[in-house]
Amino acid sequence: DTEVTQTPKHLVMGMTNKKSLKCEQHMGHRAMYWYKQKAKKPPELMFVYSYEKLSINESVPSRFSPECPNSSLLNLHLHALQPEDSALYLCASSQVTTGTGTEAFFGQGTRLTVV
């Protein structure tokens, strides 16, 4: 199983809502990532978890809150988002962090629209 599964595929939420994005992998990977991608732009790294601990936060606003409940699961909790947060949110995983020379596997993303 070389899949990273993201749910939901699409999400529309109001600016006062609280929602969560979910990501799951069963490859035994110990590094997991959240990326944000706007249209026609490259993915931007948001968070990196290594061995279930947050190791990188790329100055992401606190309205985005990541959580890694176990080595297979990664969540992104959303609260009080702005319309400019509308984007494709991508989850990825790798055996260990990519600096050691491992490839990352990506999910198909959640298309988020904030209204």
> Which residue ranges make up the site for another protein (CB under 8 A)?
4, 33, 41-45, 48, 56, 88, 90, 92, 94, 97-101, 103-109, 111
- Residues whose CB is less than 8 angstroms from the CB of residue 69 and which lie 6 or more positions away in sequence, other chains included: 75
**Distance of closest approach, residue 83 Cβ to another protein, in angstroms:** 19
Nearest CB to another protein, comparing residues 22 and 106? 106
**Distance of closest approach, residue 48 Cβ to another protein, in angstroms:** 6
- Residues whose CB is less than 8 angstroms from the CB of residue 40 and which lie 6 or more positions away in sequence, other chains included: none
Nearest CB to another protein, comparing residues 3 and 18? 3
Residues paired with 70 in a beta bridge: 73
**Distance of closest approach, residue 105 Cβ to another protein, in angstroms:** 7
Q: What torsion, rounded to 10 degrees, do the Cα atoms 55, 112, 13, 82 define?
A: 70
